[in-house]
Chains A and B, each alone.
Chain A
Amino acid sequence: MSLDLSGPSASMPASAAASGVAARRRNLLPALVLLGPVVMFLLAVFVLPVGLMVRYSFLQQLPDGTLAGGFTLANYVRLGAVDLYRNVVVTTLRISLFTTLGAMLLAYPLAMVIARGPAVIGRAITVLVIAPLLVNVVVRAYGWRIILGNGNSGVLNWALSSLGLGPVEILYTEWAVIIGSIQVFLPMMVLPLAAAIGRIDPAVEDAARTLGGSSLAVFRRVTLPLSLPGLGAGCTLVFSLTASSFILPALLGGSFTKMLGTLVEEQVLTVFDWPFGAAIATAMVLIVMAINLLYMALIERRFRSRATEAA
């Protein structure tokens, strides 16, 4: 390969070469060769189409199917003002919030065992947490349909009736979507949380215990606050993934529980109203971006300021 940089400096150790403007400039050609293809690829099939989509969301589709040029906010107004569509936005936010809260509660015991338990058990739990993640979401949603099935066919109702309890109707409600979403996205909460707890010096927790703190007090005053960065990262991931999911509301929510994912599919693939679909998709991106910015503002700044105080 003709990447070779002739001259005596070419054999300089990378650590020395990395500093200095001259070295940075000398890196430009190899950087272009190594990173040019990926940048071109991403500009062509990621940045460009997303930009076009956002532009589309400001067009309006006329009743005859043609697009009106210019610039209109009509699609966004429709999403926010028409009850039918506003309810979808509110439902999406509510389901995402409940899923995040549920995942948060369930994630702590798992993360504690992964980070603090004996190595063998920690590793086994890690595998058990990640394994379901590799099973297709369609398959897992199908599993939940079997379990939550209404009437007498569902596993849950069979179990309840053998306990003498009445049947419950969960499938095709928000609760079914929330239960399924917690199961599907819980690993995304557990893994960053376990990483954050693993970074806490166990001596700090031991010291708190030695000083007479109960298990609950040690958790509440030491482990919980120090694990907040991981918890924040997990919440951001779970909320974003739930808010932009399609399979779970489609298979577990039925036609009564619509989320942004099912609405955008209907608008693009059934109604063929692309500008409105583009606006829904853009709204979905804005929700995800807002959650990420909130995380950075709340968690990262707080920890940075604390680190500066300590220094």
Chain B
Amino acid sequence: MSENGLGRAAPLIYTLTGLIVLFLLLPLIFPIVLSISDTPFVTFPPRGFTLQWYGKVLQDPDFTSSFGFSVLLSTTAACGAVLLGTPTAIGLVRLSFPGKGLVQALVLSPLIFPSLVTGIALLQLFSSIGSNDAFLNLWIGHVLVTTPYVVRTVSASLVVVDPGLEEAARTLGAGRFTAFWRITRPQIMPGLVAGALFAFVTSFDNYAVSMWLFDASHVPLPMMMLSLISRMFDPGIAAIASLMIFFSLLMVLVLERLAGLRRAMSF
């Protein structure tokens, strides 16, 4: 067996890998570098050092209310996705019934379907039935695009749970729900937590559905950022970008800790 399985080309492959990882990190590094620049506009290289832009941004009501709204929307959407996705995963993994393939394809289809188009279709539906509640519209759209992630992660942890254990509990007199709650639920908790977190992150980052459904008093963070890019030229915008990057990296650590990133991604 050749050392580490990459053969003689290993040094070349590692060098390329390093360069490509750097390329992946470039757009995360420079907003942070520029956010500490003591200049009235975004310019490279940064001059001086200041944290004033962070202070300014954290006191900006537009930013804080948008952040709060996004947290509220993504938390409630993740709850909806877990409530809808968990029974779905159980049904698809444990039951065999006519038309199962069709249901499975339907449940996972929002993953492949372009979300931009899902958003346009929802906008047309909501305006034709006169649904003007932007929060409700956004919530439905976000539950729709995040539920398949919960179904995937919960299914992945269900298939490794031995159904015999739940059957044994049933034989010993437990009802179907009690058997599930006491035996299976604790075992699929990692998948459930991963699914909930992934749903939260996906919803928090979503623009493809939000861009059609938000209104002036319900502005998710990505839409706020998008409008700021065209009208804010001081390093405050770099500070907002940096805060969002730090928040995402925190989510990366939590996801990796609790669930393993690769499993959460279902690859």
* A interface residues with partner B (beta carbon < 8 Å): 1, 3-5, 10-15, 18-19, 23-25, 27-28, 30-31, 33-35, 37-39, 41-42, 45-50, 52-53, 56, 106, 109-110, 112-113, 116-118, 125-132, 134-147, 149, 153-155, 158, 180, 183, 186-187, 191-192, 194-195, 202, 205-206, 209, 215-216, 218-219, 240, 243-247, 250-251, 261, 264-265, 268-269, 274, 277-278, 281-282, 284-285, 288, 292
Contact = CB atoms under 8 A, between A and B. Distances in A.
B27 interface: yes
Contact of B24 (A53, A128, A278): A128
Interface in B156-173: 163-164, 167, 170-171
Nearest 5 Cβ contacts at the A-B interface? A143-B27, A34-B91, A244-B114, A1-B177, A49-B121
A112 B1 CA distance: 16
A285 B4 contact: no
B61 interface: no
Contacts of A131: 248-249, 252
A37 B84 contact: yes
Interface residues of B, number: 100
Nearest to B25: A132
Contacts of B248: 131, 134-136, 139
A274 B124 contact: yes
B14 interface: yes
A113 to B, nearest CB: 5
A219 to B, nearest CB: 8
What DSSP secondary structure best describes chain A's contact surface? helix
A136 B241 CA distance: 9
B229 A244 contact: no
Given A42-B106, A136-B225, A192-B267, A142 B241 contact: yes
**From DSSP, what is the main secondary structure of chain B's interface residues?**
helix
B42 interface: yes
B25 to A, nearest CB: 7
A109 B17 CA distance: 6
Contacts of A284: 114, 116-117
Nearest to A56: B124
Contact of B211 (A134, A145, A246): A246
Nearest to B6: A116
B181 to A, nearest CB: 10
B187 to A, nearest CB: 15
B82 interface: no
